[in-house]
């Protein structure tokens, strides 16, 4: 079932999304060689709670931390812990904040110091793919128009588009219908309407699209051990689309 949101509800998602985005900006300033992923989790958790929010991922289906920290070959759902971030790593952070009963969901990848040119390109292409996907979040289009736009940006580079995990609608629940894959033919799936709020989130691998889950039951890694990049915004379907996971008073 697709839950349409009123403008008042979208403003609550916007407030949650703003908090999530501002936590993300704080983390981007602090991610550096020598910091542990547990440090990132602690800082994010404190900032979300200080703002009166709740970290959306904490306890979600039993997830043990407040954010996901996915380093290098970890695609998504990395559990923060003692791992020390090193020069040359890429660090993906996925984080959600719940405020006034509504979630905002966002993710980004940053490079720590110098990384290979192909990894830089992977980051740029994933970010561009997200932008192209967002541009399709317009009333009258269909869900797979977003999917196809993401794929169209990525495919020419031959990078692996993760298929086992997809974007989703967001609202009172962190994951609502419909799913938003990052691949597919255009013109398929539910028609987009005002009131739909979607988390669009390409997860793109340098090598194979195939992934596996580690024994902890959470950590998703690339099958070939090559790096993976993740960018995500929560977006209200509108013309133009409104991104809700931005800091300050922009968009939304
Ligand atoms: Mg998400």
What would the DSSP string read from start to end of 57-125?
A: TTTGGG--SSSEEEETTEEE-PPPSSPBP-TT-EEEEEEEEEETTEEEEEEEEEE-S---HHHHHHHHH
Separation of 201 CA from ligand 1 center, angstroms? 6
| Domain presence at residue 249 | no
Is residue 23 domain-resident? yes
Q: In what order do the strands lie in the sheet with 167-169?
A: 176-180, 167-169, 197-200, 233-236, 242-243
pLDDT tens-digit map of 95-123: 999 999 999 999 999 999 999 999 999 99
User: Residue 252 falls within a domain, yes or no?
Assistant: no
If phi > 0 it is left, if psi is from -120 to 50 it is alpha, else beta; for residue 118 that is: alpha
CB-count burial class (<10 Å; 0-12, 13-18, 19+) for 65: buried
Q: How far is the CA of 42 from the centre of ligand 1 (A)?
A: 20
How many structural domains compose the chain?
1
- Taking the centre of ligand 1 as the mean of its atom positions, its distance from the CA of residue 32, in whole angstroms, is 24
**SS3 for 222?**
strand
- Determine if the peptide bond prior to 240 is cis (ω within 30°): yes
CATH code for the domain of 13: 3.90.230.10
| Distance of CA 58 from the midpoint of ligand 1 (Å) | 14
- Does residue 252 surpass a pLDDT of 70? no
How many A from CA of 34 to the centre of ligand 1?
28
What domain range includes position 226? 7-242
251 belongs to a structural domain: no
Q: CB 98: neighbour CB atoms within 10 A? A: 23
Q: How many Å lie between the centroid of ligand 1 and the Cα of residue 192?
A: 18
Place 249 in a pLDDT band, splitting at 50, 70 and 90.
Answer: confident
Q: Residues 6 or more apart from 145 whose CB is under 8 A from it?
A: 136, 186, 187, 192
Q: Is residue 247 part of a domain?
A: no
pLDDT recorded at residue 138: 98
248 found inside a domain: no
Q: Per-residue pLDDT for 251 more than 90? A: no
The share of the chain scoring above pLDDT 90, in percent, equals 98
Q: What torsion do the CA atoms of 74, 77, 83, 88 make, to the nearest 10 degrees?
A: 40
- Centroid of ligand 1 to alpha carbon of 243 (angstroms): 14
Q: Does residue 84 belong to any structural domain of this protein?
A: yes
Q: How far is the CA of 106 from the centre of ligand 1 (A)?
A: 7
Dist. CA 169 → ligand 1 center (Å): 8
CA of 57 relative to ligand 1 center, distance in Å? 10
Tell me the CA–centroid distance for residue 148 and ligand 1, in Å: 18
The mean pLDDT value for 170-184 works out to 98
pLDDT (tens digit, 9 = 90+) per residue, 186-232? 999 999 999 999 999 999 999 999 999 999 999 999 999 999 999 99
Distance 199 CA to ligand 1 centre (A): 5
Query: Does 105 fall in a domain?
Result: yes
Angle between helices 117-135 and 143-154 (to 10 degrees): 160
Mean pLDDT of 56-60: 98
Q: Ligand 1 centre and the CA of 97: distance in Å?
A: 11
183 band by pLDDT with thresholds 50, 70 and 90 = very high
Helix 37-50, helix 7-30: angle, nearest 10 = 140
Q: What 3-state class would DSSP assign to 172? A: coil
**pLDDT, tens only, 11-30:** 999 999 999 999 999 999 99
Ligand 1 centroid to 140 CA: how many Å?
23
Q: What is the three-class DSSP state of 127?
A: helix
Whole-angstrom distance, CA of residue 28 vs CA of residue 246: 14
Q: How far is the CA of 30 from the centre of ligand 1 (A)?
A: 22
- Calculate how far, in angstroms, residue 24's C-alpha sits from the geometric centre of ligand 1: 14
């Amino acid at each position: 079932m697709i839950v349409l949101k009123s403008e008042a509800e979208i403003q609550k998602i916007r407030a949650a999304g703003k908090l999530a985005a501002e936590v993300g900006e704080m983390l981007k300033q602090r991610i550096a060689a020598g910091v542990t992923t547990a440090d990132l989790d602690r800082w994010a958790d404190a900032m979300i709670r200080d703002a009166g929010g709740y970290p959306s991922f904490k306890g979600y289906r039993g997830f043990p931390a407040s954010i996901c920290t996915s380093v290098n070959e970890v695609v998504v759902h990395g559990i923060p812990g003692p791992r020390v971030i090193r020069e040359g790593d890429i660090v993906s952070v996925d984080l959600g904040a719940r405020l006034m009963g509504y979630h905002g969901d966002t993710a980004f990848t940053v490079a720590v110091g110098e990384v290979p040119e192909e990894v830089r390109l992977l980051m740029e292409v994933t970010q561009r793919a997200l932008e192209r996907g967002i541009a399709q979040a317009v009333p009258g289009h269909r869900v797979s128009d977003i999917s196809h736009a993401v794929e169209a940006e990525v495919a020419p580079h031959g990078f692996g588009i993760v298929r086992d995990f997809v974007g989703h609608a967001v609202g009172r629940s962190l994951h609502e219908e419909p799913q938003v894959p990052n691949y597919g033919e255009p013109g398929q799936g539910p028609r987009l309407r005002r009131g739909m709020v979607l988390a669009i989130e390409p997860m793109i691998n340098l090598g194979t699209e195939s992934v596996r889950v580690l024994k902890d039951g959470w950590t998703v890694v690339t099958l070939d051990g090559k790096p993976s990049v993740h960018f995500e915004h929560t977006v209200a379907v509108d013309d133009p689309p409104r991104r809700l996971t931005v800091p300050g008073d922009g968009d939304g």
